[in-house]
Amino acid sequence: MREAATPQAVAGENRWEPDFRELVEGLGDAVYTLDLEGRFTWGNEAGLKYLGYDESNFDEFLGRHFLDLLTPASREVAIDHFRRGLAGESITPFFEVQAYHRDGRVLDFEIRASDLYHEGKLVGRKGVVRDLEQTIGRLSAEDMGLDEMDLRILGSMARGRTNREVAGEVQLSPHTIKDRVGGILRSLDAASRAEAVAVALRQGLIRPEREIPDRV
């Protein structure tokens, strides 16, 4: 009697390797890679289109520093996130920036960035960029069951504050903050403080921390 094939065996027989470049180009969101200095080493067509360019302009972006595309205020946010990411600090992957379109308009983008490795060695950063004008379905704090105090606590959490430090900032007891943080995680359907901050940033409930670093 022939044994029935297991789901794993069937999956193995039908396994195939997708064209990852085609997948990336079909995402609709911009995808990019940077070297350790912050210069573009690759990007997809969507990223060019966001800024009013096309594939014929691709070579213009290779080797260009990402700060050249951003507004002055956004440069502060982006370089801070870039440096802290490379330093291995525990930060939310999400942040928002404004960039210049080819025609001079200023556009709002959300970026999810992370480290880029090659053969186990850190070689730069990579990111996915979403045009916030095309993002729909954002919920308000009230829709998500959060009040003004919750947003203040989330802002402190985004700056890496402990419960005790948050308590000092908002003048509540550490025990109350612990309960509040638990409620925030439930409201945002988040499993951790970092995930809660990421959701809040993605929904526009809080703004990224803006510190002014020195550019090297």
| Cα 153 to Cα 151: distance, rounded to the nearest angstrom | 5
Q: 73-108, pLDDT tens digit by residue?
A: 899 999 999 999 999 998 889 998 999 998 888 888
Does 161 share its domain with 127?
no
Closest CA to 42 of 133, 116, 105: 116
pLDDT at 138 over 80: no
Say what the pLDDT of residue 99 is: 93
In which residue are the tokens 């080493």 written? Answer: 41
pLDDT at 128 over 80: yes
pLDDT at 168 over 70: yes
pLDDT band per the 50, 70, 90 thresholds, residue 48: confident
Q: 1-38, pLDDT tens digit by residue?
A: 455 555 555 445 555 555 556 655 555 688 999 999 99
Does 112 share its domain with 164?
no
Say what the pLDDT of residue 216 is: 35
| Cα 41 to Cα 61: distance, rounded to the nearest angstrom | 8
Does 86 share its domain with 151?
no
Say what the pLDDT of residue 46 is: 85
Positive or negative: CA dihedral 190, 134, 44, 71: negative
Least reliable range by pLDDT among 5-9, 38-42, 125-129, 212-216: 212-216
Does 60 share its domain with 104?
yes
Of 134, 158, 184, the one marking the end of a domain is 134
Does 21 share its domain with 126?
yes
Structural domain for 159, as ranges: 138-216
Rounded to two decimals, the pTM is 0.56
pLDDT band per the 50, 70, 90 thresholds, residue 209: low
pLDDT, mean over the chain? 83
